[in-house]
Chain A
Amino acid sequence: QQQVKQSPQSLIVQKGGISIINCAYENTAFDYFPWYQQFPGKGPALLIAIRPDVSEKKEGRFTISFNKSAKQFSLHIMDSQPGDSATYFCAASIGTGNQFYFGTGTSLTVIP
């Protein structure tokens, strides 16, 4: 059973547009929610992360929105660029444990 559900599976956005990727979870024990970016042939790299005591975190063009009551969080990429074309994974982990649970990934293509 997928602990973290991610959508959409793929996304095509025009340059300058906003890319939005959504994730949902059931386990209320999760207390750390990172997003990873992966380019073809490379390992994932941490992009941005949030804890459930805040509703939003922004780093440059990347923003995480977190809705604790709905058990959902999303990644927004503002002013999307062709260089943002990659696969994005959301993840979640539990405070007392050492396991990460990843979403199934979203392949983002930004068209020039």
Chain B
Amino acid sequence: NAGVTQTPKFQVLKTGQSMTLQCAQDMNHEYMSWYRQDPGMGLRLIHYSVGAGITDQGEVPNGYNVSRSTTEDFPLRLLSAAPSQTSVYFCASSYSRTNKGEQYFGPGTRLTVT
């Protein structure tokens, strides 16, 4: 199993550009989520999904969109990048929405918006 994979590892965007961060898992996990990690802030939940076709907002959803058309994939879209979105983004998954603690994190995408 590859676990949770994220692409790209690094990305530089200009203000106003859009892009999609890719996340995939091969563990047949129901629950997937996106976090951003900023110095001194810990990890903050952006969006999450409890199954294909179901998504919901987390703590900091503004400026981001998600969709979940398959169990495996959960892409995060930045519609119009802003410098405040400079961060490290982590995707995570877990087997069941009730098995909350067993979240498996991907390696992260480091995004810089200039």
A45 — nearest CB in chain B belongs to which residue? B105
> Which residue of the partner chain, among A4, A32, A43, contacts B90 with CB atoms under 8 Å?
A43
B62-70, B74-82, B94-102 - interface stretch: B94-102
Q: Report the separation of the CA atoms of residues A93 and B99 in the bound assembly, to the nearest whole angstrom.
A: 11
A99 interface residue per 8 A CB criterion = yes
Q: Which of A61-112 contact B (CB under 8 A)?
A: 89, 93, 98-105
Q: Which of B27-76 contact A (CB under 8 A)?
A: 31, 33, 35, 40-45, 48, 50, 56, 58-59
Q: Report the separation of the CA atoms of residues A93 and B103 in the bound assembly, to the nearest whole angstrom.
A: 12
0/1 interface trace, chain A 3-23, chain B, CB 8 Å (1 if under):
010100100000000000000
User: B105 near A32 (CB under 8 angstroms)?
Assistant: no
Tell me the minimal C-beta distance from B53 to chain A in angstroms.
15
Question: Assuming A43-B108, A99-B48, is B101 touching A6 (CB within 8 A)?
Answer: no
> Which residue of the partner chain, among A4, A41, A93, A104, contacts B40 with CB atoms under 8 Å?
A104
User: B45 near A105 (CB under 8 angstroms)?
Assistant: no
User: A46 near B42 (CB under 8 angstroms)?
Assistant: no
* B90 contact set on A, CB distance < 8 A: 43-44
* B108 contact set on A, CB distance < 8 A: 41-43
Question: Assuming A44-B90, A104-B41, A105-B42, is B101 touching A98 (CB within 8 A)?
Answer: no
User: B43 near A102 (CB under 8 angstroms)?
Assistant: yes
Can you add 16 more A-B contacts, CB < 8 Å, to A43-B108, A105-B42? A6-B42, A34-B101, A41-B108, A43-B4, A43-B92, A44-B90, A45-B105, A46-B101, A46-B102, A89-B42, A93-B100, A98-B31, A98-B56, A99-B58, A101-B59, A102-B44
Residues of A near any B CB (own CB < 8 A) = 2, 4, 6, 9, 32, 34, 41-46, 49, 89, 93, 98-105
